[in-house]
């Protein structure tokens, strides 16, 4: 089954566990906070580029707001374990209200990595972004983060790379018209 093929919410089975992709909602704050608390220091650093502590109330409000025009976020959760932390999150935020480039970021919980969740999320994210008029994803990635680059490659074509210093690069990918 292609987890990027269905309309949201979309559920499929990963190693015997049902995983669901859906849009983030305002009630996801506590589960988002718990998901962050459970990330290993390595995954946390790869996502935020510093040892990110707990989200503030303001951050949680901002991160759970999604209008599909200025920003959009998808989560993966376990519908058979209500209340369990989110297992993966992916989002884009438009650079400016009239921009066709959006910054993208994603993270999969350590125990769920390398099982296809990241690919499923980013493909859904790109499909929704294209519908919203986003033509490019821009990501700030630690140099050598192969998984992060692979996710960009599955939805677009590399257009630009800028060294931001401190081992971080900004990658710009033009989204493939029909998805990847
Ligand atoms: C990047 C990330 C979201 C990928 O999530 P994931 O759920 O493991 O992704 P997938 O299982 O769909 O794997 C995607 C591809 O990356 C590869 N991959 C995943 N983890 C990898 C690793 N540690 N080393 C090398 N390749 C890796 C997979 O093999 C797959 O490639 P393939 O389809 O050619 O086999 C996850 O590694 C993560 O959360 N990293 C920390 C946060 C981060 O780096 N975010 C990016 C900056 S915002």
Work out the angle between the directed axes of helices 146-153 and 117-131 (0-180°, nearest 10): 40
Structural domains in the chain, sorted by start: 10-175 (3.40.630.30)
Alpha carbon separation from 103 to 17, 29, 77, 126, 159 (Å, rounded)? 31, 21, 23, 12, 14
* Alpha carbon of 145 to ligand 1 centroid (Å): 8
> Residue with the nearest Cα to atom 21 of ligand 1?
147
Q: What is the pTM of this model?
A: 0.95
Residue 83 has a pLDDT of 82
Pocket test for ligand 1, best of 14, 92, 104, 114 (most atoms within 8 A of CB): 114
Atom in ligand 1 nearest the alpha carbon of residue 113: 8
Atom in ligand 1 nearest the alpha carbon of residue 46: 44
151 lines ligand 1 (CB under 6 A): yes
Q: Using DSSP, state whether 50 is helix, strand or coil.
A: coil
Stretches in the chain below the pLDDT threshold 50: 1-2, 179-180
Residue 6 has a pLDDT of 59
């Amino acid at each position: 089954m292609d987890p990027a093929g269905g309309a949201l919410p979309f559920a499929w089975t990963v190693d015997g566990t049902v995983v669901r992709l859906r849009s983030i909602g305002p009630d996801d704050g506590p589960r988002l906070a718990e998901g962050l608390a459970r990330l290993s220091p390595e995954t946390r650093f790869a996502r935020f580029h510093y040892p990110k502590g707990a989200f503030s109330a303001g951050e949680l409000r901002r991160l759970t707001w999604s209008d599909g025009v200025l920003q959009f976020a998808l989560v993966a959760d376990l519908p058979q374990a209500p209340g369990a932390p989110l297992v993966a999150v992916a989002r884009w935020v438009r650079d400016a209200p009239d921009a066709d480039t959006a910054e993208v970021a994603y993270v999969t919980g350590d125990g769920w990595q390398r099982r296809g969740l990241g690919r499923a999320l980013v493909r859904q994210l790109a499909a929704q972004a294209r519908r919203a008029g986003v033509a490019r994803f821009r990501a700030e990635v630690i140099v050598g983060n192969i998984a992060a680059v692979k996710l960009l490659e599955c939805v677009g074509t590399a257009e630009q790379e800028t060294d931001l210093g401190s081992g971080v690069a900004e990658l710009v990918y033009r989204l493939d018209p029909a998805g990847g």
